[in-house]
Amino acid sequence: MSDKPKLLDQVRNSLKRRNYSYRTEQTYVGWIKRFILYHNKRHPKDMGEKEIEEFLTYLAVKRKVSPATQNQALNSILYLYKYILKRDIGEIQALRPRGSKHLPTVLTPDEVSRILVFLS
């Protein structure tokens, strides 16, 4: 039996050594777990660009996550490959989710003045 820590423990230790926040550690480990589970518990060393793209596309199409969430998942997985598995991952060509089309409601200066009249 090897004394080498388990994969997710290696990720946690690496993040701590690099002074990442505890919340970032939780988030990265969570995304890496989801990536592994999505691929039926295959070890990431046996996967590559194709599986990463498939997972990120699944997040965009089936889970309908925001672009920021998909980027967070991607950064977590890239961290795993770069710092833990010491593997360079090429260009990822996953389907990207669309950004929100909702525009914020903004009042004109005149509308703000009319509202302020009613405040004491």
C-alpha triplet 8, 14, 28: angle, nearest 5°: 55
* The model's pTM: 0.78
What was the pLDDT predicted at 41? 96
- Each of the 120 residues of the chain gets a pLDDT tens digit; together they read 567 899 999 999 999 999 999 999 999 999 999 999 999 999 999 999 999 999 999 999 999 999 999 999 999 999 999 999 999 888 887 777 666 677 778 889 999 899 899 887
Q: What are the φ and ψ backbone dihedral angles of 39, each rounded to 5 degrees?
A: -100, 35
C-alpha triplet 96, 20, 15: angle, nearest 5°: 85
Distance from C-alpha of 48 to C-alpha of 45, rounded to nearest angstrom: 8
- Domains of the chain (ranges; CATH) run 7-95 (1.10.150.130)
